[in-house]
Amino acid sequence: MRAIYIKEMKSYFHSLSAYLFLALFLAISGVYFSVICMSYGYTDYAANIYSNITIIFIIIVPILTMRLMAEERKQKTDQLLLTSPVRVTGIILGKYLAVLTLLLGAVVITFLQAAVLSMYGDVNWLTVLTGGLGYFLVGASLLAIGLFISSITESQMIAAGISFGVVLLCMLLPNLSDIVPGRARYTYIVCGIVIVLLAWFFYEETKSWKAGVITMVLGAAVLGLFAWRTPELFDNGLSKIIDWFSIMDRFNDFCSGILNASSIIYYLSFIAVFIFLSIQTIEKRRWN
């Protein structure tokens, strides 16, 4: 894993990716910092800066993750990795830790800006630190999604395009929950689609139609049980589902100085799921 991590860090700094990322982050965050904090005199750094610069993720996540696995497949160097003694888990974690290092560098930049701001006014360092942690966790979650997308595509441009769309959707989810239909039948339809997708996933993983059928039957049984026992659960169900999956809603607590253990566990679980999916995708390719 260490060798993969070092290789990735070298490739980032030997190419323009790392410099482009840091320059872009510094430019956009610097504009917000100069205008909101320095010009208007607002000292609440977390509420005014962190909450605004999440928009940067729409650009930097595709830039940082599009090449992680897609480039290896395109250049056929993935075969060297897959036949090496390094475990797939080590490969994925090494690559993921490399992009997290760059993200950590961005968070350090925000701390330096807050330090400059403290020379001109009172800065609430609690909200700066919790906001920085929340920003890091949001970025780490989106990077994990980008890594998974890169692992299932061969083209860097396709990986970047899909990542851009997914990150944009994550940013818009809080607004979507207010406009989706509230009737229970729409919730049933979406849950049914999810069950079918899960059945297809298990079929693809096991190549057994029995596994797919069992998954579909169990999913339908669970859905029917909840519909029978707690039908009110499905009223405004789509809004509830969207709110639960919205990683941005939980971020607001961090910017307010609220360190919620459930939110931290949520982000870590979110990251773990997509890291696991990336590992399983590469493992499947290795044995094929």
Query: Model confidence over 41-63: pLDDT tens digits?
Result: 788 888 888 888 888 999 889 88
Instruction: Indicate the number of domains in the chain.
Output: 2
Comparing 66-70, 141-145, 284-288, the range with the smallest average pLDDT is 284-288
The CA distances from residue 237 to 8, 182, 187, in Å, are: 42, 7, 5
User: 172 with 253, same domain?
Assistant: yes
The share of the chain scoring above pLDDT 90, in percent, equals: 20
Residue 237 lies in domain:
181-245
User: 172 with 221, same domain?
Assistant: no
User: 196 with 81, same domain?
Assistant: no
Which pLDDT belongs to residue 205?
Answer: 67
User: 81 with 119, same domain?
Assistant: yes
User: 48 with 148, same domain?
Assistant: yes
Which pLDDT belongs to residue 250?
Answer: 85
Per DSSP, helices labelled H in 34-123 are 45, 51-53, 57-65, 70-74, 78-82, 88-118
pLDDT band at 84 (very low <50, low <70, confident <90, very high): low
Global pTM? 0.84
Q: Mean pLDDT across the stretch 239-255? A: 80
User: 107 with 149, same domain?
Assistant: yes
**CB contact at 8 A, 118 and 34:** no
User: 51 with 164, same domain?
Assistant: yes
Q: Inform me whether the pLDDT recorded for 134 exceeds 90.
A: yes
Within 8 A by CB and 6+ apart from 225, the residues are none
Q: Which 8-state DSSP code applies to residue 207?
A: -
User: 55 with 144, same domain?
Assistant: yes
How far apart CA 164 and CA 267 sit, in angstroms, is: 20
User: 139 with 16, same domain?
Assistant: yes
Q: Inform me whether the pLDDT recorded for 3 exceeds 70.
A: yes
User: 168 with 250, same domain?
Assistant: yes
The candidate with the shortest Cα–Cα distance to 199, out of 226, 223, 218, 227, is 218
User: 89 with 152, same domain?
Assistant: yes
Which residue has better confidence, 168 or 38? 168
Comparing 76-90, 151-165, 245-259, the range with the smallest average pLDDT is 76-90
Comparing 80-89, 156-165, 208-217, the range with the smallest average pLDDT is 80-89
How far apart CA 81 and CA 91 sit, in angstroms, is: 8
Which pLDDT belongs to residue 140?
Answer: 96
Which pLDDT belongs to residue 21?
Answer: 85
Q: What is the mean pLDDT of the chain?
A: 83
User: 81 with 93, same domain?
Assistant: yes
Q: Tell me whether residue 51 is exposed, middle or buried, using C-beta atoms within 10 angstroms of its C-beta: 0 to 12, 13 to 18, 19 or more.
A: buried
Q: Inform me whether the pLDDT recorded for 112 exceeds 80.
A: yes
The share of the chain scoring above pLDDT 70, in percent, equals: 90
